[in-house]
């Protein structure tokens, strides 16, 4: 039998391993499969360490703050912070809806909706393992009601969507990922457009015709058209507008601090946020008297502050 030199053996092994991975890549792309099983294994194997690490950091922080600060003050601050976060979400949406109501005052009698949207608070325990993607891992999973394609937000604005939900953990695709994005709307001009990530810290506004006027500093909110995010959640602020054909080149600074996420809120519903027609809304407010305006302008439901920290 002919002996194979050691160098050739390792070269053959290199070729074999590379070929296997290229084939694996090809299979994934062709079938749009992400090899869920191996991801489950990897995440399950590493997540306990990440969770332990996050627990360790929290413990050290907790001991520090609670030892050197007053115990009751620390607890009170924690409770107030959670309450404040929930209130900020409500306030942000109410402010946006109030602005819309001002513009459409003659057409729309804006009434506050009482539709509840259940939420759950989650801690960020890990980030992406490389710069090729922008994802985070949170400590809430299927046991907490988290499912794929649920919206993830912070009191500052939209964060992303759940792309994988494991038993106790979930992975969240940030808006800034190449594959991330959301349906958005310019607050002043009400132009609807998708925003997406490029792998950079900023977002890009897509498909705005070159003849539309977009101002630097203009705010964007979610449009609700993507069936993931409810309407009127802040998305970002236009930071740069360049001429282009057929579409403008527009960069957007995300409203949420996507590179400094420690806690987030998952909206526990995959159903589109229910809209109340004005007539129905007024009906509710006036005790069943028809409004008579006939306007069918929809208004969004307000997420209730039912955050489970």
Partner 1 sequence: MTEEYELRSGETHIEVHKFYPGAIVMMAVAALVIQTSAPVYFPRLAILDLPLLVTIYFGLSRRNPSTGLLLGTVMGLAQDALSGPTVPLGFYGIAKTIIGYLASSIGARLDTEHPAARFALTFGFFVLQQAILVLVRRLLLAQPEAWFNVHLAVAAAVNALLGVVLFVLFDRLRRR
For CA atoms 158, 159, 163, 167, the dihedral sign is: negative
One of 4, 71, 129, 216 touching partner 1 (CB under 8 A): 129
Specify the DSSP element, H or E, that contains 119. Answer: strand 119-127
One of 39, 167, 190, 215 touching partner 1 (CB under 8 A): 39
Total binding residues for partner 1 by CB under 8 A?
53
193 binds partner 1 (CB under 8 A): no
Dist CA 179 CA 177 (whole Å):
5
Other beta carbons less than 10 A from residue 308's beta carbon? 15
Specify the DSSP element, H or E, that contains 56. Answer: helix 36-68
For CA atoms 104, 108, 111, 116, the dihedral sign is: negative
53 binds partner 1 (CB under 8 A): yes
- Give the shortest CB-186-to-partner 1 separation in angstroms: 27
Q: Which of residues 58-117 bind partner 1 (CB under 8 A)?
A: none
- Give the shortest CB-4-to-partner 1 separation in angstroms: 12
One of 76, 83, 259, 274 touching partner 1 (CB under 8 A): 259
* 158 DSSP β-pair partners: 153
- Give the shortest CB-154-to-partner 1 separation in angstroms: 14
User: Could you tell me whether strands 249-254 and 192-197 are parallel, antiparallel, or unpaired per DSSP bridges?
Assistant: unpaired
One of 179, 188, 240, 274 touching partner 1 (CB under 8 A): 179
Stretch that binds partner 1, among 108-116, 183-191, 220-228, 258-266 (CB under 8 A): 258-266
> With left for phi above 0 and alpha for psi between -120 and 50, is residue 137 left, alpha or beta?
beta
278 binds partner 1 (CB under 8 A): no
* 161 DSSP β-pair partners: 151, 173
24 binds partner 1 (CB under 8 A): yes
Nearby residues of 183 by Cβ (< 8 Å), 6 or more positions away: 192, 194, 222, 223, 224, 225, 226, 228, 229
> Footprint of partner 1 on this chain (CB under 8 A)?
7, 9-11, 13-14, 17-18, 21-22, 24-26, 28-29, 34-36, 38-39, 41-43, 46, 49-50, 53-54, 57, 124-133, 135-137, 163-164, 171, 173, 177-179, 259-262
């Amino acid at each position: 039998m002919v002996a194979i030199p050691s160098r050739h053996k390792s070269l053959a092994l290199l070729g074999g391993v590379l070929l296997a991975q290229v084939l694996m890549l090809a299979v994934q792309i062709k079938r749009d499969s992400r090899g869920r099983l191996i991801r489950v294994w990897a995440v399950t194997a590493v997540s306990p360490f990440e969770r332990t690490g996050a627990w360790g950091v929290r413990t050290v922080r907790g001991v520090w703050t609670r030892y050197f600060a007053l115990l009751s003050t620390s607890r009170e601050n924690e409770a107030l912070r959670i309450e404040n976060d929930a209130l900020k979400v409500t306030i942000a949406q109410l402010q946006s809806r109030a602005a819309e109501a001002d513009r459409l005052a003659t057409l729309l009698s804006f009434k506050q909706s009482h539709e509840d949207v259940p939420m759950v608070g989650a801690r960020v325990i890990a980030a992406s393992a490389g710069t090729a993607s922008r994802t985070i891992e949170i400590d809430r999973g299927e046991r907490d009601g988290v499912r794929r394609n649920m919206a993830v937000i912070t009191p500052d604005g939209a964060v992303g969507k759940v792309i994988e939900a494991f038993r106790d953990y979930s992975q969240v695709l940030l808006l800034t990922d190449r594959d991330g994005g959301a349906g958005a709307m310019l607050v002043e001009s009400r132009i609807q457009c998708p925003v997406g990530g490029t792998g950079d810290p900023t977002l890009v506004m897509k498909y705005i015709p070159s003849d539309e006027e977009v101002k630097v500093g203009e705010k964007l909110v979610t449009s609700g058209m993507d069936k993931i995010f409810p309407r009127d959640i802040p998305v970002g602020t236009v930071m740069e507008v360049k001429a282009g054909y057929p579409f403008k080149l527009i960069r957007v600074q995300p409203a949420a601090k996507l590179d400094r996420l420690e806690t987030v809120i998952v909206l526990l519903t995959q159903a589109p946020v229910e809209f109340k027609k004005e007539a129905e809304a007024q009906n509710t407010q006036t005790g069943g008297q028809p409004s008579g305006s006939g306007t069918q302008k929809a208004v969004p439901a307000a997420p209730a502050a039912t955050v489970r920290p």
